[in-house]
């Protein structure tokens, strides 16, 4: 009988890094079809070919969607994330997804790697400390994260743009950019004050990124063109936030400040490299499920 599978001449190692489901609620079947099933199909195929496969992912548990929903439920963000992580893991186990590692962004290991990357950039001179206008609740003085603020988009005029982006036109925004900003879910005003943050000097990497993209003539033309246009217009981007939930900023005068954390979209990029910091547990879903136990920093 002819072998129906093409065998790999030399056993290769394949990393499959599916998207990380956000732990701000249970995931429905449409989410799973998007973030889990394609990677699982590829992982099964590569294992049948004889490849050494590491399929690594986990729940994304920082950021304002977590704090916003936790506030609505009257519980701490950690308790809210724990609850949703357990739901998501149970669903994925029962669906038979074959992750080798399924972890969380609230583990001590994730904190360590995120802070290490931050410090390397800081020591290399790629982080710029400067002031920007931050949003505060005028009545309580509490900081208002980006997603706690809504207003009219200054680019397309959409009336319900958020303080971090407009879902209508897709442009990134800062709360100060919004026209007539107010607190989400109410007409309560927003007060803007000076606050210090670290900005990632993205333009310093512009030429390197441009050269790297130009080397890849195997990319789809529209993707390559979009990427080149994007790197031509890089701007420094704030990678810290006025939040009380997230990875602490590992610098004197910052690390003990309960209201300063590393921005979730910075700690997000460390996930792929960080997940490999745990011993792979290939095989059954009951094995990878055990890797999700909390490890509080």
Map out the domains of the chain as residue ranges. 13-110+271-292, 113-268
pLDDT at 1: 46
pLDDT at 98: 95
Positive or negative torsion for Cα 214, 220, 222, 226:
negative
As its CATH architecture, domain 113-268 has Beta Complex (2.170)
pLDDT at 143: 83
pLDDT at 3: 53
* Both structure tokens of 158: 């959409």
pLDDT, tens digit (0-9, with 9 covering 90-100), for 127-181: 999 998 888 888 887 888 888 899 999 999 999 999 889 999 999 888 899 999 9
Residues of the chain scoring pLDDT < 50: 1, 276-296
pLDDT at 145: 82
pLDDT at 283: 34
pLDDT at 282: 35
**How many CB atoms sit inside 10 A of residue 30's CB?**
8
pLDDT at 63: 85
Which of 118, 117, 123, 144 has its CA nearest to residue 133?
A: 144
Which of 41, 53, 39, 44 has its CA nearest to residue 11?
A: 53
- Is the pTM higher than 0.85? The answer reads no
pLDDT at 276: 45
pLDDT at 6: 57
The greatest distance separating any two alpha carbons of the chain, rounded to the nearest whole angstrom, comes to 77
Which of 203, 202, 201, 177 has its CA nearest to residue 190?
A: 177
CA atoms in the 13 A half-sphere facing the CB of 288 = 25
Exposure letters 247-268 (e unless 16+ CB within 10 A, then b): bbbbbeebeeeeebbbbbebbe
pLDDT at 59: 93
Distance CA 201, CA 186 (A): 35
Three-state DSSP at 234 gives: coil
103 burial via Cβ count (<10 Å: 0-12, 13-18, 19+) = buried
In this chain, the answer to whether the domains covering 13-110+271-292 and 113-268 adopt an identical fold is: no
Three-state DSSP at 207 gives: helix
Distance CA 144, CA 182 (A): 10
CATH superfamily, with its number, for domain 13-110+271-292? HUPs (3.40.50.620)
Residue pair 261/244 in contact (Cβ under 8 Å)? The answer is yes
pLDDT at 247: 95
pLDDT at 127: 97
14 burial via Cβ count (<10 Å: 0-12, 13-18, 19+) = middle
């Amino acid at each position: 009988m002819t072998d129906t599978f093409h065998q790999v001449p030399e056993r290769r190692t394949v990393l499959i890094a599916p998207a990380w489901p956000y732990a701000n609620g249970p995931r429905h079947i449409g989410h799973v079809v998007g973030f889990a099933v394609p990677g699982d199909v590829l992982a099964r195929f590569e294992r049948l070919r004889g490849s050494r496969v590491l399929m690594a992912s986990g729940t994304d548990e920082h950021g304002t969607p977590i704090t916003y929903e936790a506030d609505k439920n009257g519980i701490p963000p950690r308790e809210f994330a724990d609850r949703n992580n357990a739901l998501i893991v149970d669903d994925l186990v029962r669906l038979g997804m074959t992750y080798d590692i399924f972890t969380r962004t609230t583990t001590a290991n994730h904190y360590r790697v995120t802070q290490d990357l931050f410090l390397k950039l800081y020591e290399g001179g790629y982080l710029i400390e400067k002031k920007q206008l931050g949003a505060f609740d005028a009545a309580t003085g509490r900081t208002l994260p980006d997603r706690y603020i809504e207003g009219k988009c200054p680019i397309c005029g959409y009336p319900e743009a958020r303080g971090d982006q407009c879902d209508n036109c897709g442009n990134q925004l800062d709360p100060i950019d919004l026209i007539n900003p107010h607190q989400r879910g109410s007409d309560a005003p927003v007060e803007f004050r000076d606050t210090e943050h670290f900005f990632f000097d993205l333009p310093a990497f512009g030429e390197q990124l441009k050269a790297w993209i130009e080397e890849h003539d195997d990319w789809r033309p529209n993707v390559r063109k979009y990427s080149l246009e994007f790197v031509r217009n890089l701007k420094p981007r704030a990678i810290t936030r006025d939040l009380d939930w997230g990875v602490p900023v590992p610098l004197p005068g910052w690390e003990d400040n309960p209201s300063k954390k590393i921005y979730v979209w910075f700690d997000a990029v460390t996930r792929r490299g960080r997940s490999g910091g745990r011993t792979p547990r290939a095989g059954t879903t009951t094995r990878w499920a055990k890797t999700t136990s909390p490890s509080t920093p």
